[in-house]
Structure 1
Amino acid sequence: MLGNFSYYNPTKLYFGDNAQKHLGEELKNYGAKVLLTYGSGSIKTNGIFDEVMSVLRAAGKEVIELPGVMPNPTTDKLYEGVKLARENNVDLILAVGGGSTIDYAKAVSVSVWYDGDPWEKYYLRQEDPDSNLRIIPIGSVLTMVGTGSEMNGGSVITNHETKLKIGKIFGENVMPRFSILNPRYTFSVPLRQMVAGFFDIMSHIMEQYFSGEDDNTSDYLAEGLMRSLIHSSRIAVKNPQDYEVRSNIMWTSTWALNTLIGKGKSQDWMVHMIGQAIGAYTDATHGMTLSGVSIAYYRHILPYGLRKFARFATAVWDISAADKTDEQLANEGVEALLEWMKQIGVATEISSLGVTEDMLEGIADSTFIMNGGFKVLTREDVLSVLRESL
């Protein structure tokens, strides 16, 4: 492994079909007022809301509800949450939902006692919270897998006015203090959302995998995670109630983006940058925006990372290397990825997400260029990937 790094993750996880029983003991560590944030209300129909509320009441907490967190949380919703949390002087933010809800809770947590515009400071300028700022601690109860937000500092917010969707990686002081991971809580997620989450997991791993040429332990870990996800996802689309495969996928999702497998290497993240720009224009499901551009993107950068793509084919997809060049192997690996995407049912073209030809210039302008991958893209490269993805 090349490079130097430190590693620490402060989030405490409770995993399994009884994980929610630990919520009460965690709540003892925080004050009386809890901001309970969640999405469109599905947790009220599947019983999760009642379970969480009963624990909050038993712990003697005063609950301030903040529902309606959308799949792509907006600046307007952020300002609403900040106002509510400040007026009630909350002691803890409990996010019940998927990655968007947890991302949103992080954004609120660092914004409640900040006097300026959090969008400007944290997202446009990519600054960290001031050292003396009071940050509201957060906890999470995960109901949809994909983002890994339950054990990282990532937070993505969308500004519809400027058509920008930007992620910020906060530090350890913003990461969830605890996360409840019960695989059964994911069973009621609709099929399309479920498979979008699956691809989000895969994309997180590939963004960290397709960079660097050294013999890196992180890459071996990434290959194992990808193999596990591919195996379990094929079963899950046929039987979404299979606890074993859903638990494996939930665990894979967490480890795909809790910073472990990115240590000691550069990282790409261009699929996410392009996908987030698409999301800012269409509000399409995040995982689908990633799947929609991935094949075109990987075909575009494949010649610059030929050896890694060839390894991807053999180590992840079990493609035989006999009598094949690295280029042949690399292309077969990308084709195997495409075939798996079709098997689980994710988008393979962005026109199905509402993207039209006249949006492409604007999407390219909204795409942030990263420099950690095999090739640093130009704006024309981004446009080329978008056109090939239509």
Structure 2
Amino acid sequence: MLGNFTYSNPTKLYFGEDSLKSLNEELPKYGERVLLVYGGGSIKKNGIYDQVIRILADNGKTVSEVPGVMPNPTVEKLYEGCRIAKENQVDLILAVGGGSCCDYAKAVSVSTYCEEDPWEKYFARMEDVDNPVIPVGCVLTMVGTGSEMNGGSVITNHEAKMKIGHIFGDNVFPKFSILNPAYTFTLPEYQMVAGFYDIMNHITEQYFSGTDDNTSDYIMEGLLKSLIHSSRIAKKDPANYEARSNIMWIATWALNTLVACGKTTDWMVHMIGQAIGAHTNATHGMTLSAVSMAYYRHICPYGLAKFRRFAINVWDVNPEGKTDAEVAEEGLKRMEDYMNELGLVMNIKELGVTEDMLEQVADSTILFQTDYKPLTRDDVIRILRASM
């Protein structure tokens, strides 16, 4: 382990089939006015909405709502939520849905009492929060983002062609999150497998950095092997509780800041994927899968030792008689085969990206200083073209 770090995670988790009952334990800690945030209405069809409303009523809460939170929450939707939260002077924001709802709730929580344009302050300039924050709780119905136990929030500005994530501090983490794996059973397969890859990429974005012997890498290898095993089961049997519960737990630990300890991390697949999402509004996990193989093959020669380790420890490649480059490529090929097995999108054309959009997408891509091969704009264009 290299460097110095501080680890803290203030989110309390309630996990399991009876976890929604724990709302009764949390709600008395907050005032009477609750803002309920949810997506396109699936929670009304599957009965989760009615269960939550009943618990809120039993606890004497006055409820206002922001329905229709989209998979890639927009800045216009953020402004709407801030207006409703402020008008109703809410004491708690309760997100019921997937990661986008959780992301959105956190964005509203920091933006409602922001004295200037929150997009400019928190997403364009990435400034720290210096205004009152409304507490957030989450009831998770889809896994992938890890937003239920971190301070991250991603907002899309279609006018600016930007999709930007801000990692806020401990004071913005959800105060509590309720994780019932059974709530994920009815998710359409496309969204389910996109979530699986979002989890995998959260792990690899952190794994492919550094050259030291790092305990976080061993943890990530275990999470990846568990994800590969359980996702194959869930693909064949979406209602397999054991598999879906494992995946839900992996998703949380993939991005609750634990495995980032002692790591520099990468995040360029996310930056390129989010730029694609800003131009196409494509499903987040699929934007990641579409560019991952081109990106990892691009940086592999510069981080060869880690890619070799990845091949052996995650994909069980036998290194005997092979060069390091051959071992690394076999690992990437097995990863690619697994992605095809799940039915992930493997090229950006399928997401609506055309040749004449490549330079615009590259211009929307935020470039980070990464360990193995820091990218230039021209590199991003090459990776995008290789992903066509």
What is the aligned partner in structure 1 of residue 119 from structure 2?
119
Deviation larger for 342-351 or 241-250: 342-351
Matching of residue 27 in structure 1 with residue 27 in structure 2 = yes
Deviations 1:128-156 (A, max 9, x none): 111xx211000000000000000000000
Give secondary structure in 2 for the equivalent of 1:369: coil
Instruction: Measure how far apart 1:3 and its partner are.
Output: 0.6
Give secondary structure in 2 for the equivalent of 1:50: helix
Cα distance in 2 for partners of 1:261, 1:325 equals 29
Cα distance in 1 for partners of 2:175, 2:263 equals 27
TM-score (norm 2): 1.00
What is the aligned partner in structure 2 of residue 38 from structure 1?
38
What is the aligned partner in structure 2 of residue 225 from structure 1?
223
Aligned residues: 388
Deviations 1:320-368 (A, max 9, x none): 0111111000000110110000111111111111111111100000000
Q: Partner letter of residue 84 of structure 2?
A: L
What is the aligned partner in structure 2 of residue 357 from structure 1?
355
What is the aligned partner in structure 2 of residue 245 from structure 1?
243
- Superposed, which structure 2 residues align to 1:57-136 within 5 Å? 57-130=57-130, 133-136=131-134
Cα distance in 1 for partners of 2:196, 2:249 equals 12
Q: Partner letter of residue 99 of structure 1?
A: G
- Superposed, which structure 2 residues align to 1:1-390 within 5 Å? 1-130=1-130, 133-390=131-388
Cα distance in 1 for partners of 2:22, 2:133 equals 23
Cα distance in 1 for partners of 2:171, 2:260 equals 20
Instruction: Measure how far apart 1:193 and its partner are.
Output: 0.2
Q: Partner letter of residue 276 of structure 2?
A: I
Instruction: Measure how far apart 1:373 and its partner are.
Output: 3.2
Q: Partner letter of residue 303 of structure 2?
A: G
Cα distance in 1 for partners of 2:239, 2:318 equals 34
Cα distance in 1 for partners of 2:296, 2:262 equals 22
Give secondary structure in 2 for the equivalent of 1:95: strand
Cα distance in 2 for partners of 1:185, 1:52 equals 13
Cα distance in 2 for partners of 1:387, 1:187 equals 36
Instruction: Measure how far apart 1:90 and its partner are.
Output: 0.3
Cα distance in 2 for partners of 1:297, 1:279 equals 17
Deviations 1:68-116 (A, max 9, x none): 0000000000000000000000000000001100000000001111110
Q: Partner letter of residue 351 of structure 2?
A: L
Cα distance in 1 for partners of 2:4, 2:152 equals 22
Instruction: Measure how far apart 1:248 and its partner are.
Output: 0.1
Cα distance in 2 for partners of 1:173, 1:29 equals 16
Q: Partner letter of residue 270 of structure 1?
A: M
Q: Unaligned regions of 5+ residues in structure 1, if any?
A: none
Instruction: Measure how far apart 1:46 and its partner are.
Output: 0.7
Give secondary structure in 1 for the equivalent of 2:29: coil
Instruction: Measure how far apart 1:25 and its partner are.
Output: 1.0
Cα distance in 2 for partners of 1:295, 1:283 equals 21
Deviations 1:303-334 (A, max 9, x none): 00001000000000011011111100000011
Cα distance in 2 for partners of 1:244, 1:322 equals 35
Cα distance in 1 for partners of 2:47, 2:336 equals 37
Instruction: Measure how far apart 1:372 and its partner are.
Output: 2.6
Cα distance in 2 for partners of 1:320, 1:356 equals 39
Q: Partner letter of residue 362 of structure 1?
A: Q
Cα distance in 1 for partners of 2:69, 2:354 equals 27
Q: Partner letter of residue 233 of structure 1?
A: S
Q: Partner letter of residue 74 of structure 1?
A: T
Instruction: Measure how far apart 1:265 and its partner are.
Output: 1.4
Cα distance in 2 for partners of 1:338, 1:134 equals 45
Cα distance in 2 for partners of 1:265, 1:237 equals 32
Cα distance in 2 for partners of 1:185, 1:24 equals 19
Cα distance in 1 for partners of 2:56, 2:108 equals 20
Cα distance in 2 for partners of 1:262, 1:317 equals 22
Cα distance in 1 for partners of 2:262, 2:370 equals 13
Give secondary structure in 2 for the equivalent of 1:28: helix
Q: Unaligned regions of 5+ residues in structure 2, if any?
A: none
Q: Partner letter of residue 373 of structure 2?
A: K
